[in-house]
Amino acid sequence: MTTLLVNATLLPCTPDMPVIEGGFVHVEGERIVAAGAGPAPALDGAEIIDVGGDIVMPGMVNPHCHMAMTLFRGLGEDVDDRLYRYILPLERTFVTPPMVRAGTALAAYEMIQGGVTTVADMYYFETEVARVVHQSGMRGVIGQTIADFDPPDHKNADEGFALMDELFAEFSGHPRITPSLAPHAPYSTDVAVMNRVARWVDDHPGTPVQMHLSETGPEMEWASKNYAMTPVEVTAKAGLLREGLIAAHCMYVNEADIALMAQSGVAVAHNARSNGKAGRGIAPITALRAACIPVGIATDGAMSGNTLDLFAQFGPVTMFQKIAGGSRALMPAMDVIRMATLEGAKVLGMADRIGSLEPGKQADLIRIDLSAARLHPIYDHYSMLVFAAMANDVRDVMVDGQWLMRDREVLTLERKKVLRDALQIASEFKAEMVRLDAQHR
Amino acid sequence: MTTLLVNATLLPCTPDMPVIEGGFVHVEGERIVAAGAGPAPALDGAEIIDVGGDIVMPGMVNPHCHMAMTLFRGLGEDVDDRLYRYILPLERTFVTPPMVRAGTALAAYEMIQGGVTTVADMYYFETEVARVVHQSGMRGVIGQTIADFDPPDHKNADEGFALMDELFAEFSGHPRITPSLAPHAPYSTDVAVMNRVARWVDDHPGTPVQMHLSETGPEMEWASKNYAMTPVEVTAKAGLLREGLIAAHCMYVNEADIALMAQSGVAVAHNARSNGKAGRGIAPITALRAACIPVGIATDGAMSGNTLDLFAQFGPVTMFQKIAGGSRALMPAMDVIRMATLEGAKVLGMADRIGSLEPGKQADLIRIDLSAARLHPIYDHYSMLVFAAMANDVRDVMVDGQWLMRDREVLTLERKKVLRDALQIASEFKAEMVRLDAQHR
């Protein structure tokens, strides 16, 4: 299978971030053979697609998500105690393998439509998540959560590790699914479990680990009270602050934390909308990146950030840094797109395989339709992508050389079934919320 | 002409903000006759449109824009000195009636596609702006700028007032165009001109006045140095802090300013994306609204905020207040939609005619298509509109009972001509930028 995309405004997202007019991409099987300025090579039997000047760029990387939580989108919005009032009770009752499949399918559908080709997920029943991501055609780093607050799929750490073993048994070696470990957060797993995860990684080098880190005020107090440390320092003490750790949020890291993180080789998943919506503040992303810590742009779950495309994150990501630093020049648009592509791939330890359009890399790419009036004039393609484009402008999506979407039609998931399954469970949530509200009064 | 929209999820945006399933709207000519829960009345000869459960709500109000500046969208993005390096030199050379017409048409096209039905504009050659807004079918408060920095269309205040007279002569009494005065800002018109505007309004009661106020650091310094006052106090001294003043930005207003503003009956146009992108900080919108000052959600010009739809503003508007106040509960989604509709109409002094779907009001309404997977599940329609919907979800737009857009096709402006005219001028800007960059080196 040979595909040739021609007449592209090519944004390969290689480190120098060029914009190549009249560019082409040559895909053979699952890999990119060539990408650059035209003329395209003459290839017998190739499917030739003239994109008419549309942008072709790498598929985007979402390094922190809870896909199944799409079913909680907007539930209890603006209610300060919604976690305890709604979310945790609903999770205890309703999080089952069918619920996880339904929510994950809806999430995959939305992400494909928004140009996200790789997602890092952590939630419950992650073998089910991996199966749905496999079916969707997306690439995923799929992490089984291990937590000590009696989560829906395990009663203790042993059971959590058993679920993880199941995930690894089914998906190790899969071309698109990378199984991963996901200790929930320092305060919700404690040092012993983090240490056990670290030993597991010692035995299985290169396994990515996902964890919430330095996200909330109570977490900071927990670390201070129990260890007289920051959560980052507790993580280091547990042996888990190491290359391969994808640390989500990092809202409250201080200068010493940042130095320790840089030294340790960890990476950060930044969740601007989720943090902003929670009123938590602005994560010190400019300082983290100045310390050469790779930072990716993440959506968090739809319960927290409401959307799963990166376009909806771009504005908050750059505006928050400009506001925090008091300058229009901070977090320029080009850096935002860098974080959404190659830097995001680096966060997941995959920069050698995805994140840019280069010979030998996996053919994960998207086409952005430039026909909308609201995108024009275009003086700077990065500014246009960050400040004017939206998920709807993504027209085609390819992963590993396979089309997941053409002309906005998702080819790997059945729209009607995805929506029907999701809305069925949402109606059960609504009924339960009525009961919870009655209890609350 | 009778139109009946049936089977709607009706958000009339009346003060109690109900959500009415199975609702209808009955339009006769340019007015709403009835809007409420079904069944709809049987009406002979009516055009009956079954919206299939889609949302029908008031058209949105954008109370601060520089429509023609759409041609500067993304120009010099992230460059700290872009105003002096690019924008002012380009404005001096290129702002002519044809440029203003081209930029305004592109802006109107984008706003209609994003569900904005009423805009307040202030820029140059505003009679041209009013003509294009008239043609577009939108409703507009169109303000001729008066400034003392040698702007493109007048050399002194007398010439500025002459342009204003021209605008009023052509458009006074127009059903959709309200001519307005727009002294640029306190520092750029000074007390004498503001006072002249105030005297003009004394003679023409009810005329809306648009002005940038308390927007920038240098403005604060100017007021302090020259008058030992805040810009709000200088405006009061000039007699212009009064009902009918639409004050744009109000970034740096203090408690005393807010009290003075509330007492004076002024209203505020909040430009979250523009302020955020400039790194200026977060306007005290929660405090302004707590003082019962009406606040509308504005886009500013596309040079500053890049998009002209309100959906792209909703996230910043609510997240900025949540971050500034440290709570998820601040600026709830329902209030955001209130500001985009009835409260925005109040900002423009039009709450008796537009901003909600009620008998006797002008028929300015939009239909929001709910078919996108990313909008679901929907637990709360306001949360969905604020955090998940986007401009592309607007399907139909009506102003004064006339359809401006059906099935996303704008009916009043010719897409090809709008884009061709805009891109022609953008290519001239690009050539001039090369020259300016060469000078800069």
Least CB–CB distance from B279: residue in A78, A327, A423: A327
The one-digit pLDDT tens for each residue of chain B (441 residues) are 899 999 999 999 999 999 999 999 999 999 999 999 988 999 899 999 999 999 999 999 999 999 999 999 999 887 878 888 999 999 999 999 999 999 999 999 999 999 999 999 999 999 999 999 999 999 999 999 999 989 999 999 999 999 999 999 999 999 999 999 999 999 999 899 999 999 999 999 999 999 999 999 999 999 999 999 999 999 999 999 999 999 999 999 999 999 999 999 999 999 999 999 999 999 999 999 999 999 999 999 999 999 999 999 999 999 999 999 999 999 999 999 999 999 999 999 999 999 999 999 999 999 999 999 999 999 999 999 999 999 999 999 999 999 999 999 999 999 999 999 999 999 999 999 999 999 887
| Residues of chain B positioned with their CB less than 8 A from the CB of A309 | 374
Mean pLDDT rounded to a whole number for chain B: 96
Q: Phi-psi category of B241—alpha, beta or left, where left has phi over 0 and alpha has psi -120 to 50?
A: beta
d(C-alpha B272, C-alpha B295), whole Å: 12
Cα end-to-end span (Å), chain B: 62
Least CB–CB distance from A377: residue in B113, B315, B423: B423
Which has the closest alpha carbon to A306: B369, B321, B383, B272?
B383
> Parallel, antiparallel, or unpaired: how do β-strands B2-10 and B20-28 relate?
antiparallel
pLDDT, average across residues A214-221: 96
Least CB–CB distance from B316: residue in A319, A326, A419: A319
> Parallel, antiparallel, or unpaired: how do β-strands A394-399 and A402-406 relate?
antiparallel
- Judge: A422–B377 Cβ closer than 8 Å, yes or no: yes
| Residues of chain A positioned with their CB less than 8 A from the CB of B82 | 328
Buried b (16+ CB within 10 A) or exposed e, A307-333: bbbbbbbbbbbbbbbbbbbebbebbbb
Q: What is the DSSP letter of A59?
A: P
In sequence order, the 6+-apart residues with CB closer than 8 A to the CB of A154 are A146, A160, A162, A163
pLDDT tens string B278-294 = 999 999 999 999 999 99
So what's the pLDDT on residue B82?
87
| Helix/strand/coil for A1 | coil
| Helix/strand/coil for A283 | coil
| Residues of chain A positioned with their CB less than 8 A from the CB of B110 | 373-374
**pLDDT surpassing 90 at residue A83:** no
Tell me the one-letter amino acid at B50: D
Share of chain A above pLDDT 70, in %: 100
pLDDT tens string B416-436 = 999 999 999 999 999 999 999
- Sign of torsion over alpha carbons A239, A241, A243, A244: positive
Place A374 in a pLDDT band, splitting at 50, 70 and 90. Answer: very high
How are the residues of chain A apportioned to helix, strand and coil, as percentages rounded to the nearest 5? 45, 20, 35
In sequence order, the 6+-apart residues with CB closer than 8 A to the CB of B173 are none
Whether A334 and A314 have beta carbons less than 8 Å apart is answered as no
- Judge: A374–B332 Cβ closer than 8 Å, yes or no: no
Cis peptide before A186 (omega within 30 of 0): no
**Residue located via tokens 């992400």:** A111
Q: Which domains does chain B have, with CATH numbers?
A: 2-58+355-409 (2.30.40.10), 60-347 (3.20.20.140)
Instruction: For residue B410, give the chain A residue with the closest CA.
Output: A373
Least CB–CB distance from B383: residue in A74, A380, A422: A74
Cα R_g (chain A), whole angstroms: 21
| Helix/strand/coil for A14 | coil
Instruction: For residue B276, give the chain A residue with the closest CA.
Output: A319
d(C-alpha B159, C-alpha B286), whole Å: 39
Whether A269 and A310 have beta carbons less than 8 Å apart is answered as no
A307/B contact by beta carbon, under 8 A: yes
Tell me the one-letter amino acid at B1: M
- Sign of torsion over alpha carbons B282, B287, B293, B295: positive
d(C-alpha A386, C-alpha B74), whole Å: 10
B397/A contact by beta carbon, under 8 A: no
| Residues of chain A positioned with their CB less than 8 A from the CB of B384 | 74
Cis peptide before A39 (omega within 30 of 0): yes
d(C-alpha B62, C-alpha B181), whole Å: 17
Tell me the one-letter amino acid at B270: H
The tokens of B241 are what? 């802090």
**Helices B126-136 and B97-113 meet at what angle, rounded to 10?**
40
Where does residue A66 rank: exposed (0-12), middle (13-18), buried (19+ CB within 10 A)? Answer: buried
The tokens of A397 are what? 């999506």
User: What is the ipTM for the molecules in this complex?
Assistant: 0.96
A193/B contact by beta carbon, under 8 A: no
Where does residue B243 rank: exposed (0-12), middle (13-18), buried (19+ CB within 10 A)? Answer: middle
d(C-alpha A32, C-alpha A370), whole Å: 24
Q: What is the DSSP letter of B175?
A: S
| Residues of chain A positioned with their CB less than 8 A from the CB of B282 | 323
| Residues of chain A positioned with their CB less than 8 A from the CB of B325 | 279
A279/B contact by beta carbon, under 8 A: yes
So what's the pLDDT on residue B190?
87
pLDDT tens string A317-368 = 999 999 999 999 999 999 999 999 999 999 999 999 999 999 999 999 999 9
Instruction: Provide the 10 A C-beta neighbour count for residue B23.
Output: 24
Q: Phi-psi category of B154—alpha, beta or left, where left has phi over 0 and alpha has psi -120 to 50?
A: beta
Instruction: For residue B334, give the chain A residue with the closest CA.
Output: A78
Give the A window 399-438 contacts with B, CB below 8 Å. 415, 418-419, 422-423, 426, 429-430, 433
- Phi and psi dihedrals of B27, rounded to 5? -115, 130
So what's the pLDDT on residue B68?
98
**Helices A415-440 and A97-113 meet at what angle, rounded to 10?**
120
Q: Measured at the alpha carbon of residue B72, what is the angle toward residues B404 and B80, in degrees to the nearest 5?
A: 140
Whether B132 and B104 have beta carbons less than 8 Å apart is answered as yes
- Judge: A379–B312 Cβ closer than 8 Å, yes or no: no
- Judge: A422–B327 Cβ closer than 8 Å, yes or no: no
Tell me the one-letter amino acid at A435: R
**pLDDT surpassing 90 at residue A193:** yes
| Residues of chain A positioned with their CB less than 8 A from the CB of B106 | 373, 376
- Judge: B276–A315 Cβ closer than 8 Å, yes or no: yes
Q: Which residues pair with A6 in a beta bridge?
A: A50
